[in-house]
Structure 1
Amino acid sequence: MVLSALLRFIYPPPSNIFVTAMSMISIVSLGNSGIMEVKGKHMQYSKFWNFGTDQKISADKKAKISSKTGMIIAYTPAFLAGVGSFVLLPVGDFRFDLLRSAITIHYFKRIFEVLFVHKFSGWTDTEAAITISLSYFINSVMMIYSHYLIQGFPEPQTDLKYFGALLFLVGISGNFYHHYLLSQLRIKGDKNYKIPQGGLFSLVICPHYLFEIMGFLGISCISQTLYSFCFTLGTTFYLMGRSYATRKWYQSKFEDFPTHVKALIPYIF
């Protein structure tokens, strides 16, 4: 009964053990990363570089690159995967074209922000940058490939692609806006962190993560495949852990951090 209800919203999974296995791996690996963030074992980038005594000792022994370079490394392969899909798989239906367009736009926006919006003052662990890059690349390829496999399958009873496209646009716009607000916190040469202001920052410390989840949920609704929803669920778990760690970090740095400001979901979490 649960399966029949689920199939109203997603395509029947293709008889491909690899795709099914990767769907489960995406949830488990991303969910575990979220748990690690809550426990204080952070991916070594952004403000969490050297956060914690034990991590500082181990981080000093690791190869480091600038945060800007690290983020370019992280996002470029996934962007190229989206662009490359139009060359390698030129024939596709409207939903397929909408999906890979959304993936390509998502990572193009990220690269654009790294080059022209974000302001960097720290370092990134080279290993972490490569790990993140592989994760983004593999998941982008898998979303495209899993949807390619169901070309010609009967459409789900409930068509979510237009709702998904709208949700994606809201998510990517809200994410960009709050990234812009973060970039305005520092004047040139300023390396000090400040409590973010404006937008939904008055309610949650990570509204950019909230909108990122919306964007990926929009991509999942466009695709309506098992893999895409598994990836979005795993991403949600990870960003919940990341936002929890971010709020904890701000509380440790600012005695006047507002107690009513939640981590990710206004008034709730």
Structure 2
Amino acid sequence: MSTLLGFISQPPPSVFITAMSLISLTFLANSGFSEIRGKHYQYSKFWNVNSQKSAAKQIKVSSRTGMLLLYTPAFLAGLASFGIFHDEGFRFLLLNSAVTIHFFKRVLEVLFVHKYSGAMSVDDAIPISVSYFLSAASMIYAQHLSRGFPEPSIDLKYPGIVLFLMGISGNLNHHYLLSKLREEGDKEYKIPKGGLFDWVICPHYLFEILGFIGVSFISQTLYAFCYTMGTTVYLMGRSYATKRWYLSKFEDFPKDVKALIPYVF
């Protein structure tokens, strides 16, 4: 326990942050196991075709508009916190900047990188948007509450900066490679190539995990570590489901390509 406390700052006496830490870890981890069991979010390219939800009652928007709805509130939460919290210290500034940059990058990718082939239900987009907003706000608020408590004895914020920058740049690069697979209006899926795609089918998830590890190192709060652990389990499940989908669609899919971690998983 003493070793663990060396990495994590003393949790503030906040029922909200404690509850959000447990909820985030449990919800994200359960979502990862659901992906493995074949239960997917409906914006996924391999969501359940036998879903009983009536399509006639769904309000749909373009995929680009839906994805903007997912990420913009979280980005605005990060942006607004610069004006709400003042003189919170260097670690808070780093954490707030990392959260804001993460979601700003996602908004830019929606506008300028990703290619789209369908629509998104508003009923599905709103809960995901709210979850991203709450995660961003909770991450920043937990950092705010930790002010005044003793710093962790092992300072990880500088390694965290390096990991965050590696994660966000690697994720962007592989999203760009995915976007080059299809021309505008082309709805056909292809086997990704280039970068780390020759070793794993979801290197963009691998780098996203690396980025969130960086964020948790910068923050060193209980909430940040819980969110990162939950996100890791979710993306492991998501990558497993993605590989299974490619194997079902392409007879020539290379069997030695892993789901997430080269040579391991």
TM-score, normalised with respect to structure 2: 0.97
Instruction: Report the counterpart of residue 124 of structure 2 in structure 1.
Output: 128
On the 8 A contact 1:121/1:191 being kept in 2, the answer is yes
2:218 to 218, 222, 228: 222
Q: 2:53 aligns with which of 32, 44, 58?
A: 58
C-alpha distance in 2 between matches for 1:125 and 1:264? 28
Where 1:65 maps in the other structure, the secondary structure is: strand
Matches within 5 A, 1:183-198: 183-198=179-194
Aligned equivalents of 1:102, 1:204: Cα separation in 2: 26
Q: Which residue matches 2:30?
A: 32
The Cα RMSD (Å) is 1.1
The one of 36, 39, 42 equivalent to 1:44 is: 42
String of CA shifts for 1:30-53, please: whole Å, max 9, x gaps.
1111111111110111412xx443
Contact 2:42 2:48 in 1 (8 A): no
TM-superposed deviation, 1:59: 5.6
Equivalent positions of 1:221-260 (< 5 A) are 221-260=217-256
2 CA distance for matches of 1:6 and 1:35?
26
**Structure 1 residue 90: deviation in Å?**
2.0
Asked if residue 104 in structure 1 is aligned to residue 83 in structure 2, the reply is no
Whole-angstrom distance in 1 between the partners of 2:213 and 2:95 = 12
Distance (Å, rounded) in 2 between the aligned partners of 1:139 and 1:221: 16
- Provide the rounded CA distance (Å) in 2 between the counterparts of 1:53 and 1:208: 25
Q: Does residue 75 of structure 2 align to residue 82 of structure 1?
A: no
Q: How far off its partner does 1:126 sit?
A: 1.5
The amino acid of 2:245's aligned partner reads: W
**SS of structure 1 residue aligned to 2:120:** strand
Amino acid at match of 2:134: I
Distance 1:209 1:53 in 2: 24
Aligned length: 264
Which residue does the alignment assign to 2:8? 10
Q: Is the 8 A contact 1:46 1:124 kept in 2?
A: no
Deviation readout 1:184-226 (Å, 9 max, x if unpaired): 0012221100000000000111000010011111010000000
Secondary structure of the 1:54 match is: coil
Structure 1, unaligned runs of 5 or more: none
Runs of 4+ in 1 over 6 A off after TM superposition: none
Change (3 A) 1:59 1:260: farther
Give the match's secondary structure for 1:197: coil
Q: 1:80 corresponds to which letter in structure 2?
A: L
* Alpha-carbon distance, 1:173 to partner: 0.2
Listed as ranges, the matches of 1:195-206 within 5 Å are 195-206=191-202
8 Å CA contact 1:178, 1:207 repeated in 2: yes
Structure 1 Cα separation of the partners of residues 216 and 264 of structure 2: 24
Distance 1:186 1:27 in 2: 35
Letter paired with 1:58:
K
> Which residue does the alignment assign to 1:159?
155
User: 2:174 is matched with which residue?
Assistant: 178
- 30-39 or 59-68: bigger deviation: 59-68
Deviates more, 1:225-234 or 1:62-71: 62-71
Unaligned runs of 5+ in 2: none
Q: Distance in 2 between matches of 1:60 and 1:265?
A: 36
User: What displacement does 1:121 show?
Assistant: 1.0
Letter in 1 for 2:53: S
